[in-house]
Amino acid sequence: MNKVRIIEDGVTYFADGRYEARIKVLEVPRSLKFPDGFKVSCVLLDKNSKTVRLVLDNHQPFGYHIHTALPQNKNARLQVDVKNYAEAIRLFFREARKVANEEK
C-alpha cells in the first residue's frame, strides 16, 4: 500500500468548549517509523491560553507515547503500552478529561 488513507479525523470539546481535542489517524505504509501502519496524532488545546496541553502520538524510536508536561517541557514523553491506535485514543481521552477537570 503506497497511499495514505484517513481513518479518523475529528474534534471533541471538553469543559464547555475550553479544551479542543483533535484526533487524526492515518493508515500509512508500514515502515521503521510506523511499524503498525498507522500514524496517530491526538492533541489537546487549551483555547483560553492558546497552548497545547497534551499530545499522544506514535513514531519510532518511541512507539506510542504521550507528552504530559506541556507546554513547559516539550521533550518529556511517557511511553504507553497499548495494543493498537484505538486503545491509544481511549487513553488520550482519559488523560484529556483529567486535564480538563483539574483546571476548571
Write the pLDDT tens digit of every residue in 54-89: 999 999 999 999 999 998 998 899 999 999 999 999
Q: Which three cell numbers stand for residue 83?
A: 495494543
Contact 79, 64 (CB under 8 A): yes
Q: Quote the pLDDT of residue 103.
A: 73
Q: Can you tell me which residue has the cell 514523553? A: 77
Q: What is the mean pLDDT of the chain?
A: 94
Other beta carbons within 10 angstroms of residue 62's beta carbon come to: 12
The DSSP element (H or E) to which 99 belongs, if any, is: helix 85-102
pLDDT over 60 (residue 37): yes
Under 8 Å CB-to-CB from 101, ≥6 apart: which residues? 15
Q: Quote the pLDDT of residue 28.
A: 97
pLDDT over 70 (residue 1): no
pLDDT over 80 (residue 104): no
